[in-house]
């Protein structure tokens, strides 16, 4: 299944292997049938808040979440 | 003689309740305040009763927290043990090189967001600082990525210039691989590194958590090391399927390794946090129980002393009347 190109297409697009595998996992999750599908999507929710620091000071935190707060 | 006994009682009462502010004792509102005939003040029973009530409440709360931590621990422990299988093949393939000498190391410190969990966060920070000292020198630099509020607060004090990223609120949803892999991805995108050292508390048992360091190397370093030989040198003996080169496979493997190791580390750290919280709350409940015992003794002594004083007054009043007759 691996492409025969010099660099796989997703690597050329700037994705890491982790992003690639996450997208594939999401596709598989969407193929499930109804009760299991809702459960598995519920299970894999992402939420954390990331802030970069420069010169010893934190910048504004970026919230990466599936459920952005209002 | 009764006076002497009472004076001794009074003196013994005061040190045991020394923490209570003096204003409460001297407050005119407490109606059962008494003064011995020689000016020795005794503690009022009201004050002791209030203190006993608050200590009992604290004991109930800490017991409840211990139960909650125990149930959460049971839930996470199974997942943590199962996740150990994720990184074991990587270590079998690539080996673990904690002592590798690289130019840029990034230390990822995992800690908890909530407190009351004993000393686990401070041990993790101590290990991170030790790694910093070990790995700094001419041409070498160390940067920190901090996960969790507690480590952020501690490291902010003296290492704030070396912090690159900080992550909080990771435990809001139950931990899952998707979350940790997105986090790993963010770290990979924002930080340049030759070696990543993840510091976390490994869960051995409910009372034993050891701070551990897992090292993940970047693909370039792996290639360099594989030329030198050793475990990584045997990578060439593996056959590569498909059209990818060794460099690409190494890059994919390194990223995936980082994600798996992070997942395991986060789960183990969560287990250790619950275990530490259980034992911290357990010792608090025990201490509260002991304090309650001591306060009960004090309360009884105060009560008996006040009864004795009343009796003395009655009897001396009566005997004075008798003598006057």
Domain boundaries, chain B: 59-232+248-283
Residue B277 near residue B68 (C-beta atoms within 8 A) = no
Q: Which CATH class is domain B59-232+248-283?
A: alpha beta
B300: Cβ contacts below 8 Å, ≥ 6 apart: none
Q: How buried is residue A41: exposed, middle or buried, by Cβ count under 10 Å (0-12/13-18/19+)? A: middle
A61: Cβ contacts below 8 Å, ≥ 6 apart: A49, A50, A51, B168
Number of H helices, E strands in chain B: 8, 5
Residue B196 near residue B219 (C-beta atoms within 8 A) = no
3-state secondary structure of B201: strand
How far is it, in rounded angstroms, from Cα A18 to Cα B252? 8
A47 shares contact with chain B (CB less than 8 Å): yes
A39 shares contact with chain B (CB less than 8 Å): no
**Given this model, what pLDDT does residue B228 score?**
66
Residue B45 near residue B299 (C-beta atoms within 8 A) = yes
pLDDT-derived band of residue B39, with 50, 70 and 90 as boundaries?
Answer: very low
0.90 surpassed by complex ipTM: no
Residue B25 near residue B258 (C-beta atoms within 8 A) = no
Start-to-end CA distance of chain A, whole Å, equals 42
Do A2 and B185 make contact, defined as CB atoms within 8 angstroms? no
The residue with tokens 């209030």 is B50
A46-55, B172-181, B228-237: least confidently modelled range: B228-237
* Residue of A8, A10, A11, A17 to mutate, interface with B, max B Cβ within 10 Å: A17
B15: closest CA among B301, B317, B324, B319? B301
* Residue of B106, B149, B173, B183 to mutate, interface with A, max A Cβ within 10 Å: B173
* Residue of B179, B187, B192, B266 to mutate, interface with A, max A Cβ within 10 Å: B179
Residue in A closest to B180 by C-alpha: A46
B274: closest CA among B175, B145, B168? B175
Contacts of A68 in chain B (CB under 8 A): none
Averaged pLDDT, B216-232: 72
How far is it, in rounded angstroms, from Cα B140 to Cα B158? 19
Start-to-end CA distance of chain B, whole Å, equals 26
A58 shares contact with chain B (CB less than 8 Å): yes
On average, the pLDDT of chain B sits at: 81
A29-43, B16-30, B187-201, B236-250: least confidently modelled range: B16-30
Overall pTM > 0.90: no
Residue B192 near residue B104 (C-beta atoms within 8 A) = yes
């Amino acid at each position: 299944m691996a492409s025969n190109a010099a660099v796989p297409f997703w690597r050329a697009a700037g994705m890491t292997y982790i992003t690639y595998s996450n997208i594939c996992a999401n596709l598989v999750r969407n193929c499930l049938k109804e009760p299991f599908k809702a459960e598995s999507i519920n299970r894999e929710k992402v939420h954390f808040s990331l802030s970069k620091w420069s010169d010893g000071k934190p910048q504004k935190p970026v919230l990466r979440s599936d459920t952005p707060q209002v | 003689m009764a006076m002497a006994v009472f004076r001794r009682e009074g003196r013994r009462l005061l040190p045991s309740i020394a923490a209570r502010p003096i204003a409460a004792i001297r407050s005119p509102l407490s109606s059962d305040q008494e003064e011995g005939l020689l000016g020795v003040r005794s503690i009022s029973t009201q004050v002791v009763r209030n203190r006993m009530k608050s200590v009992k409440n604290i004991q109930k709360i800490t017991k409840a927290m211990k139960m909650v931590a125990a149930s959460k621990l049971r839930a996470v422990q199974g997942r943590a043990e199962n996740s150990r299988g994720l990184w074991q093949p990587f270590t079998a393939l690539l080996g673990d090189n904690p002592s590798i000498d690289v130019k840029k190391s990034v230390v990822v410190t995992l800690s908890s967001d909530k407190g009351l969990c004993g000393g686990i966060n401070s041990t993790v920070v101590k290990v991170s600082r030790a790694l910093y000292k070990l790995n700094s020198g001419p041409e070498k630099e160390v940067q920190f990525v901090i996960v969790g509020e507690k480590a952020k607060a501690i490291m902010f004090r003296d290492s704030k210039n070396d912090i690159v990223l900080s992550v909080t609120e990771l435990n809001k949803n139950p931990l899952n691989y998707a979350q940790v892999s997105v986090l790993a991805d963010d770290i990979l995108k924002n930080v340049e590194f030759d070696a990543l050292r993840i510091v976390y508390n490994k869960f051995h048992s409910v009372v034993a958590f050891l701070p551990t360091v897992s090292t993940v190397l970047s693909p370039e370093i792996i290639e360099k090391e594989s030329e030198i030989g050793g475990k990584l040198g045997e990578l060439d003996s593996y056959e590569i399927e498909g059209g990818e080169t060794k460099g690409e496979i190494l890059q994919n493997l390194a990223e995936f390794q980082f994600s798996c190791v992070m997942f395991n580390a986060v789960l183990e750290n969560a287990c250790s946090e619950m275990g530490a919280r259980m034992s911290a709350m357990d010792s608090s409940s025990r201490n509260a129980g002991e304090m309650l015992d001591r306060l009960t003794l004090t309360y009884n002594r105060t009560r008996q002393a006040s009864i004795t004083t009343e009796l003395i007054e009655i009897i001396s009043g009566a005997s004075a009347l008798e003598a006057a007759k």
